[in-house]
Structure 1
Amino acid sequence: MLIAAKALELYNIKGAIDSVAPFGLGHINDSFVVMAEGKKYLLQRLNTAVFPKPEVVENNLRRILSLAPELFAHHVLGKNGKYHQFDGESFWRLQEFVADSYAPEKLGLNELEEIAKGYGRFTASFSAENLSDYVEAIPKFLDLTHRLNQFEEALRKDKAGRKSKVSSEIEAVLSFQWVEDRFNNLVEAGLPHRVCHNDTKAANCLLAQPSGQFLKVVDLDTVGPGYAMFDMGDMLRSMLFNIPENDSNLSGLAFDNKRFETILNSYLKECSHALTPVEIETLPLGGLCMTYITAVRFLTDYLNGDVYYKVTFEGENLVRARNQLKILELMSEAIA
């Protein structure tokens, strides 16, 4: 807590600091809620193991905040004129806490509609941007071929001695390699590359209390080059079935066409004018791509001995992989 309090000295906050306390359960960055003279802030320490080039995150953030500030929480500039401040050990950023807001957990049709509208507005707001002004914050983060190569390497090395325990999961991953082929064919045919959020979970979209209307898009570290189908895909992956990634009770899962149409149509309502016909036509394929990438990453980490994702119980990454493979199976039957 003392480290966080010291980091606040890098910003021109009016009044005395009343309190600093840990906030949220994020898996990547450390977050703290700060109270100062009755005003509430969110202070975050950037995880440079995941984001090795803070200057890239800074430049991408500065660009989008200057173009569409109404979409995002107000970020506070540090004393040196940058959003990210270095205290000699860590990089920090500070933003005003968004009042009367919430990140939805229970996702009914209204929540799906408002979240998808929010991300659609994001897509539309940056549709005219020159992609050369942005850089990937995590190189090859959503590169399916790269993730499959990592998976194959994990199979060869079998560092944790777990390969023999997951033969059916390995078979399932290999059976969906056609998803990679279909996506690569689209890229070779000229699928547009554009500015994307690249992490479009429900938790990264704030809704207003008590109306439930879209308010702000948050968690902007991954903003950069990407594909619209991947932003749609992560919404479908994480919101269509509305279960936690570590839920092992998959027997009752079913594809809900009403939920699917609500997400897709609400997104398109805000940004169809900014997308090409091929982008619109292939948005559902993004659900398969993003679910496949996530399943592969979970199983790869399990094979490697749980070295990337935090786990709270033995075999959690395997549970996560099975969860995503089941969603992938159901999704492929409905929209492939």
Structure 2
Amino acid sequence: MTSASIIKILVEFNLNGNSTQWTPLNNGLINDTYLVKEDNDEQYILQKINTQVFKNAGILMANIQFTLPILNADDYEQITFLKTRSDKNYLVQNDEFWRMMTFIPNSTTYNTTTNPTTAFEAGRIIGKFHQLLQHIDTALIEDTLPNFHKLSHRKDEFKQALQNATKEKLNVADKAIKKAQHFITELAHLNTGSLPIRVCHNDTKLNNILFSKTSEKALCLIDLDTIMQGFLFYDFGDAIRTIVNTAAEDEQDHSLITFNEALFTSFVDGLSSNGPILSSAEKESLPLGAVFMPFIHGLRALTDYLNNNTYYKVSYENQNLDRCLSLFNFAEKALDRKHYMARYIKNALG
């Protein structure tokens, strides 16, 4: 982005583009994000939505606008979107889709953690998110990414990628392909028929939780693009894969990939601190959900690798394959602890 084009966008959001500074933030794998700072030290987050991924960004923003007023409590910080000069909460300019939101002062995110307090707070804030949204009519929330976590859909995409991939890629990814086929069989036992449909965040990795730098308290969930219908084990499993594992998502040394039981118990304790918000069937689904979510992310990364890296941003050719193998390795470790997780969840959540 040129300075002139950024300034034009800031002006549309009623900011003085000539008295601001902006810095790219590189954590996201999908959208382009900038930290914007005015001369008076006011800060904002500017994002360009990836419309190749989110093909109807208007629905995406409608879901967010509907849920944001409800996501507000003494122990849950509210995010606000700036309006444009035409009084919309997003801007379409030159076929690009932009939005601007407030930056919560003295806040930070973490990619991984070894701190039980951070794990507890992550569990608490995810539980609070679901507590606040539990009475919403889910029919009012539209799917921005249909079949996002649906195993049959991801399996079909994977099969199509296998047919289209080059022989070289198939050979390089042979180990990952065999692991994927094993997990697809294992996870066929995950029965969702008795589970209530909720409004879920659907992307509750640790770095989508905002924390206070001073109190260590979790403040709120961010990156709300995937607010859609779903099952609670989606949000549980996505959090577990990034909190209980202290290694990077694309870690190549699998001896560094952990299932840290102390962090797991802290997270579940944080979840339970919100009171009884889960049904019996939901509690029973959580251990396999902690296997399902790293696997489904790994399968998507493998599919993207076979499709020549068209979805996730990569910094080197085989990064999606490394992501896949790392995620599969954690899924294996979670599967080995399925009964341990079930016992602790039963004791902690009732």
TM-score over 0.5 for the pair: yes
| Aligned length, in residue pairs | 331
For residues 53-110 of structure 1, the C-alpha deviation after alignment (integer angstroms, 9 at most, x for no partner) is: 0111111111111222353322212233321122242221111111011102451111
Is the 2:247–2:256 Cα contact (8 Å) retained in structure 1? no
The equivalent of 2:63 in structure 1 is: 60
- Can you give the 5+ residue segments of structure 1 that lack an aligned partner in the other structure? none
Q: Structure 1 residue 254: deviation in Å?
A: 3.8
Q: 1:179-218 counterparts in 2 under 5 A?
A: 179-183=186-190, 186-187=191-192, 189-218=193-222
**Letter aligned with residue 2 of structure 1:** A
Distance, in Å, in 2 between the alignment partners of 1:253 and 1:58 is 36
Normalised to the residue count of structure 2, the TM-score between the two structures is 0.89
Contact 1:104 / 1:111 at 8 angstroms: preserved in 2?
no
Alpha carbons of 1:233 and 1:116: their partners in 2 closer, same or farther (altered >3 Å)? Answer: same
AA in 2 matched with 1:139 = P
In 2, the alpha carbon distance for the partners of 1:252 and 1:29 equals 29
Match of 1:329 in 2: 332
Rounded Cα–Cα distance in structure 2 between residues aligned with 1:16 and 1:45: 17
* Aligned match of 2:43: 40
For residue 178 of structure 2, the aligned residue among 151, 163, 171 is 171
User: Of 242, 261, 267, which aligns to 1:257?
Assistant: 261
Structure 1 Cα separation of the partners of residues 167 and 315 of structure 2: 18
Residue 218 (structure 1) shift: 0.9
User: What is the TM-score when the length of structure 1 is the normalising length?
Assistant: 0.92
Structure 2 match to 1:96: 102
Deviation per residue, 1:117-165 (Å, 9 max, x gap): 1111111110000011101121222111111111111112224631123
* Residue correspondence of structure 1 range 60-139 to structure 2 within 5 A: 60-70=63-73, 71-107=77-113, 108-139=115-146
Deviation at 1:16, TM superposition (A): 6.4
Q: Give the 3 Å change call, closer, same or farther, for CA 147–36 of structure 1 in structure 2.
A: same
Partner residue, 1:162 = 169
1:259-278 matched pairs, under 5 angstroms: 259-270=263-274, 272-278=275-281
For 1:332, the aligned partner's letter is L
Residue of structure 2 equivalent to 1:315: 318
Task: Evaluate the alpha carbon distance shift between residue 76 and residue 160 of structure 1 in structure 2; reply closer, same or farther with a 3 A threshold.
Answer: farther
Quick check: 2:32–2:49 contact (8 Å CA) kept in 1?
yes
Residue 20 of structure 1 aligns with which residue?
A: 21
* SS of equivalent residue, structure 1 residue 27: coil
In 1: Cα distance, 2:257 partner to 2:94 partner: 49
One-letter code aligned to 1:41:
Y
**Cα separation, 2, equivalents of 1:11 and 1:156:** 46
Quick one: distance in 2 between partners of 1:160 and 1:67?
51
CA RMSD across the alignment: 1.8
- CA change 1:31–1:252 in 2 (3 A) is closer
- Give the gaps of 5 or more residues in structure 2: 340-350
Identity over the aligned pairs, expressed in percent?
Answer: 27
Give the conservation status (yes or no) of the 8 Å contact 1:179–1:288: no
Equivalent pair of 1:160/1:304 in contact (CA under 8 Å): no
How far has the Cα of 1:250 moved from its partner?
1.1
Give the corresponding residue for 2:233: 229
Q: Which residue identity does 1:7 align to in structure 2? A: I
- Which AA in structure 1 matches 2:159? E
CA deviations on 1:153-209 (whole Å, 9 max, x unpaired) are 1112224631123322222111112343122xx22x331111011110111111112
Q: Residues 12 and 314 (structure 1 numbering): CA distance in 2 closer, same or farther, change over 3 Å?
A: closer
- The question of whether the paired residues in 1 share the 8 Å contact of 2:194 and 2:281 is answered with no
SS of 1:66's partner is coil
Aligned to 1:301: 304
Which secondary structure state, in structure 2, belongs to the residue aligned with residue 221 of structure 1? Answer: helix
